[in-house]
Amino acid sequence: MSTVAGQTLDVASQFPVLERKGLHYLDTAATAQKPLAVIEAMDDLLRHHNASIHRGVYPLAVEATDLFEGARDRAAAWLGSTSRETIFTKNATEAINLVAHAWGGANLREGDLVVLTQMEHHSNIVPWQLACQAAGAELAYVPIDEEGELVLDALDPLLERGPKLVGVVHASNVLGTINPVEEIVRRAHAAGAAVLVDGTQAVPQLPVDLRAIDADFYVWTAHKAYGPTGLGILHGRAEVLEAMPPFLGGGHMIASVDWQVSRYAELPHKYEAGTSPIAEAVGMGAAVAWLQDLGMERVRAHEHELVAYALERLAGVPCLRVFGPPTADRRGAVVSFALEGVHPHDVAEILARDGVCVRAGHHCAQPLMRVLGVPATTRASFAVHNSRDDVDALIDGLHRVREVFA
């Protein structure tokens, strides 16, 4: 149990996997563990309400459809979007590919500019490379400074060139940096650019209000937000989604089909070809309900306190370099570091011997690794179920790593 500025989050017992003895799960940025509420909601759907959705008229199909669409309604309302503007994909990666392919195909032309940042995940780089290569458009990147924050002054000259789109991560999966996305959207819109925000790490960590952010596209993924794998979410502005061509063709995304042409379904179904991930959506809806019960302000306060404590304790480990902003205020629940003279994979392996689960590697951000001047980092990421005990286990483990490599 951990106490946070007068508040208490005591939820570890709600995660069945954490019953494993001696487990310190610090890899939520890769995928979150699942609370019982999510597991039970999916189990209930599969046991008692399973049917193909939207087409069936019998009670089972109506129940499954209501549960599926109810999950969409809940996610949309939670973040300040609408159900029409909330599209289900396979994951965040597919959501960005949808935008890059469908919107990019319709809007990018030779000589156009797309602006990203140096701290993007490969998911928000490679789809734009493909789109820019297809159109003959150019990609440019907003740099980061020594503390792992975006150099916003460098955005101005890029915006003066009239980019078609700006893509920015809300909270970095490597540096932890929380980007001022409202300001970036405002400035990009003033320059006539559309904006895509990658909220994959932000949605499970921060209160997010899509109305305030006002991006044209905002994406996230259920499995990092305590839901199941297999479901990504794209929130888009209705008029933009209506103007775009579909991404994938097939069943469900049509209004009518003839031999040569088809008419497409209304939003959001226009972008949901094929049988939907029904149990996954229901699990995501349960995860959202569970997070709503906790309250995202409390989630943020809990993880902020843990990150502050982790930064303080990591500062006491000799020869250790922490990447990203120096204070927890400017960070999400992710801390990447490097121990001088020890490969990040060796660090992670020795930590694993003591049950400390961290991630080592480039974290799907190879260009960022080059900016940081390292091939890889070790990353600890925090969740609602973590406590100071987990941080202490990490620090003890790092001291042991140093002994092994002394």
Ligand X SMILES: Cc1ncc(COP(=O)(O)O)c(C=O)c1O
Question: Residue 91 interacts with ligand X (CB under 6 A)?
Answer: yes
Contact 248, 269 (CB under 8 A): no
Closer residue to ligand X (CB): 142 or 350: 142
Question: Residue 27 interacts with ligand X (CB under 6 A)?
Answer: no
Q: How far is the CB of 387 from ligand X (least distance, A)?
A: 23
Question: Residue 201 interacts with ligand X (CB under 6 A)?
Answer: yes
Q: How far is the CB of 200 from ligand X (least distance, A)?
A: 4
The single residue listed with the structure tokens 């209501």 is 66
Q: How far is the CB of 94 from ligand X (least distance, A)?
A: 7
Q: How far is the CB of 123 from ligand X (least distance, A)?
A: 4
Identify residues 237-266 at the interface with ligand X (CB under 6 A): none
Determine which one of 132, 319, 357, 364 is catalytic: 364
Alpha-carbon distances of 152 from 47, 181, 243, 324, 325, rounded to whole Å: 51, 11, 31, 16, 15
Positive or negative torsion for Cα 380, 384, 385, 387: positive
Give me 329's structure tokens: 């205020």
Q: How far is the CB of 292 from ligand X (least distance, A)?
A: 21
Strands, sheet with 377-381, edge to edge from the N-terminal-most edge strand: 320-322, 334-339, 377-381, 359-361
Q: Write the CB contacts of 257 (distance below 8 Å, at least 6 apart in sequence).
A: none
Given 3-state DSSP classes, what are the helix, strand and coil percentages for the chain, each rounded to the nearest 5? 45, 20, 35
Contact 52, 275 (CB under 8 A): yes
Stretch that binds ligand X, among 73-81, 90-98, 105-113, 246-254 (CB under 6 A): 90-98
- The 336-375 contact track toward ligand X, x by CB under 6 A, reads ----------------------------x-----------
Alpha-carbon distances of 225 from 66, 133, 220, 395, 396, rounded to whole Å: 22, 33, 9, 26, 28
- The 148-177 contact track toward ligand X, x by CB under 6 A, reads ---------------------x---x----
Closer residue to ligand X (CB): 228 or 397: 228
Identify residues 204-223 at the interface with ligand X (CB under 6 A): 221
Q: How far is the CB of 188 from ligand X (least distance, A)?
A: 19
Question: Residue 380 interacts with ligand X (CB under 6 A)?
Answer: no
Closer residue to ligand X (CB): 137 or 178: 178
Candidate list 92, 108, 225, 233; residue touching ligand X; CB under 6 A: 92
Question: Residue 65 interacts with ligand X (CB under 6 A)?
Answer: no
Q: How far is the CB of 22 from ligand X (least distance, A)?
A: 26
Positive or negative torsion for Cα 378, 384, 385, 391: positive
Give me 362's structure tokens: 């480039």
Q: How far is the CB of 365 from ligand X (least distance, A)?
A: 8
Alpha helices, H only, 28-164: 36-48, 59-79, 92-98, 104-107, 126-135, 155-160
Size of the site for ligand X (CB under 6 A): 13
Closer residue to ligand X (CB): 167 or 397: 167
- The 296-335 contact track toward ligand X, x by CB under 6 A, reads ----------------------------------------
User: For residue 208, which of 248, 181, 185 has the smallest C-alpha distance?
Assistant: 181
Stretch that binds ligand X, among 86-94, 277-285, 300-308, 367-375 (CB under 6 A): 86-94
**268 cis-preceded (ω within 30 degrees of 0):** yes
Tell me whether residue 364 is one of the annotated catalytic residues: yes
Closer residue to ligand X (CB): 220 or 290: 220
Contact 193, 216 (CB under 8 A): no
User: For residue 280, which of 66, 48, 47, 67 has the smallest C-alpha distance?
Assistant: 67
The residues pairing with 116 across neighbouring beta strands, listed in sequence order, are: 141
Closer residue to ligand X (CB): 205 or 386: 205
The single residue listed with the structure tokens 């890889």 is 376
- The 115-134 contact track toward ligand X, x by CB under 6 A, reads ------x-x-----------
**List of residues contacting ligand X (CB under 6 A):** 91-93, 121, 123, 169, 173, 198, 200-201, 221, 232, 364
Instruction: Please identify every residue annotated as catalytic.
Output: 364
